[in-house]
Amino acid sequence: MNQVLIIGASGGIGAALTRHLCARGALVTTLSRSADGLDVTDQACVDAHLGALTGPFDLILVATGALVVNGSEPERRVKDITARAMADQFAVNCIGPSLVMRHAARLLPRDRRAVFAALSARVGSIGDNALGGWYSYRTAKAALNQMIRTAAIELRRSHQQAICVALHPGTVATPFTAKYAGRHKTVPAEDAAANLIGVLDGLRPENTGQFRDWAGKSVPW
């Protein structure tokens, strides 16, 4: 992974991924809202920023996402759902990465292994949902997983060595996640980044379209 593009590089995981990959000698191009004004929910903004890049990138990693958007916290009951909160979750957690994905075919090389990865979440798994709640966030991440799965099929037709995957990084320890982690084990952002890079290193073209966790294990759709 010599040429890397990280979207959302100013966030906790995105920044840690950038540091790890730079330390390995990768040439990392970063884009984020705070540093570059990239709003992944705005198609014109995404097209302007991504359209200015030429690549090719061996890895495009979308590290954007949010659990709380515009002050709306995860719903505990179905009657807590609002149209605005659900739309905001889809905009950030599904539409944003999907707008970046639109540029993948042009920015990934066709003649060698390349990876497009987006950070998802285990709570987006339909098959692994035993607790309920968090309706909008779960649904938006499930939609992202479907986008990844579907895009992998199309990308494989033109980029036979490409790998398109959804990644669950685990619960990363930040002041924000402390409110929601509960009894779930948390990991520092640096450890999460190292784990994810290890998973990415081990992926092969036959793994395209999969959903993997931080340990490299498959997560049910």
- Within a 13 Å sphere around the CA of 24, how many CA atoms are in the beta-carbon half? 16
Q: What is the pLDDT of residues 89-117, one digit of tens each?
A: 999 999 999 999 999 999 999 999 999 99
> Per-residue pLDDT for 178 more than 60?
no
Average pLDDT score over residue span 51-63: 96
Q: What is the pLDDT of residue 182?
A: 59
Q: What is the pLDDT of residue 55?
A: 85
> Per-residue pLDDT for 176 more than 70?
no
Instruction: Give the confidence band of 34 by pLDDT, cuts at 50, 70, 90.
Output: very high
- From the list 162, 130, 128, 164, the residue with the least C-alpha distance to 144 is 164
Q: Are 141 and 97 in contact (CB under 8 A)?
A: no
Instruction: Give the confidence band of 185 by pLDDT, cuts at 50, 70, 90.
Output: confident
> Per-residue pLDDT for 174 more than 80?
no
Q: What is the pLDDT of residue 183?
A: 59
Q: What is the pLDDT of residue 181?
A: 57
Q: What is the pLDDT of residue 187?
A: 86
| Number of C-beta neighbours around residue 158 at 10 A | 10
**Token pair for 160:** 């036979």
Q: What is the pLDDT of residues 113-131, one digit of tens each?
A: 999 999 999 999 999 998 9
Work out the percent of the chain whose per-residue pLDDT is above 90: 88
Please, what are the domains in the chain? 3-213 (3.40.50.720)
Q: Name the DSSP letter for residue 41.
A: T
